[in-house]
Structure formats: structure tokens, C-alpha cells
Amino acid sequence: MTDAVTNMQADFKQAIKDNKSSLFWFGILMAVVGAIAIIFPFAATVTANFMVGFLFLFSGALSVWHSFSIKGTGPFFGALLMGLITIVAGVFLVANPLEGILILTLTVGIVFIFEGAYQIFAAFEYRPAKGWGWMLISAIISILAGLLIVSKMPGTSLFVLGLVVGINFLSTGISMIMLSRAADEEV
């Protein structure tokens, strides 16, 4: 291995060791939230839709407000337009929850696929340290969850988003817990 890769792996392992307590407790929180979402998938799906909708409204309003402090016609109108588009997306998600759920479900499926790909990279960076396999398992679960979401559209969108988000949170939480537990043994 090159020195840069070896240093990057050592830095990654040290970061896990330095933050093992917060990694452990964040893992517990992720696992609990995941379990709740699995038990109540429709409620988790609707909650996700409204949370994203209101976040879009808030960030769009901030973008519109900020655009008035930008100098220059082009940048001003670009920022204003992006803020207004974000507000419209937020209004759409809040006012049309069923359609919003369908769009969000597809988006989350795609994000999970990319998240899993990143987790595979991270797992192999941490390898051969103890606990790297948990990251790899979480990556595979994320990719499979993303593929499941995308392949079952639109029929299952009312519950699959909440269920798959719950499974993803649960598996990510468990992988964080296992990494935090293995940190002392590795560095």
C-alpha cells in the first residue's frame, strides 16, 4: 500500500477510536429510531414527507431572503429562482402528500444505493480492522434497500419508505455500535 493510503486508514481508525463514545450513543439512537419506523412504517413515511416539505419551505424562504443581499443581476435572479423553486417543491410535498411520498420514495431509493456504495468504500478502507465487516453488511443492506424501493414503485410507496428507512437506520445504528465496541482493539 502507498503511504497515503496507509495514513488515511490510520487516520480513519484513530477518528473512530477518538469518537467511540459518541459513535456508540448515536448508533443506539439510530437503532431505536429505526425500530420505531419499522413498527410504524406508514407514519414514518408520512413524517418523512412532511419533514422534507417543511425543510424545503424553510430553506427556500432563507434563499429568497438571502438573494436580496446579493450584488449583480444574474447572481441575484439565480439565487431568487433557486429559492422560489425550493419553496414550490416544499409546498408541493406538504399540499400533495401522496404524490410527495411517491417522489420521495424514489429519491430515497436512489440515495440508499449511493450511500451503500460509499459505505462499501469506507468498509474496505477500514479493512482488515475488526468491525469492518459490519460496515460492509450495512452497505449491502443499504444497496438492497434502495433496489427494493426503486423496483416496487409505485404500489408500495405508502409504507415501503418508512419500513426501508427504519431498516436502514437500524442497520446503520448496529454497525456504529459494533465499530465503537471494536475501536479499542484496533488502534
Q: Give residue 187's pLDDT.
A: 44
Q: Give residue 50's pLDDT.
A: 92
Classify residue 121: in a domain, yes or no. Answer: yes
Classify residue 146: in a domain, yes or no. Answer: yes
Length of the chain: 187
Q: Give residue 132's pLDDT.
A: 81
Which residues span the domain enclosing 19? 3-48+97-186
Percent of residues, the chain, with pLDDT higher than 90 = 30
Greater model confidence, 105 or 89: 89
DSSP H helical ranges for the chain: 3-18, 20-39, 41-67, 73-95, 97-126, 132-151, 157-186
Terminal Cα distance for the chain, rounded: 18
Q: Average pLDDT, stretch 18-22?
A: 83
On the question of pLDDT at 53 being above 60, the answer is yes
Angle at CA 119, nearest 5°, toward 117 and 121? 75
Classify residue 55: in a domain, yes or no. Answer: no
Classify residue 19: in a domain, yes or no. Answer: yes
Greater model confidence, 154 or 23: 23
User: Tens digits of per-residue pLDDT, 129-148?
Assistant: 777 888 888 889 889 988 88
Classify residue 64: in a domain, yes or no. Answer: no
User: Tens digits of per-residue pLDDT, 115-127?
Assistant: 999 988 888 887 7
Classify residue 166: in a domain, yes or no. Answer: yes
Classify residue 91: in a domain, yes or no. Answer: no
Number of domains in the chain: 1
52 vs 13: CA distance, rounded Å: 33
Classify residue 38: in a domain, yes or no. Answer: yes
Distances (CA, A) of 166 to 24, 38, 45, 139: 18, 5, 10, 15
On the question of pLDDT at 62 being above 90, the answer is yes
Cell numbers at 130, concatenated: 475488526
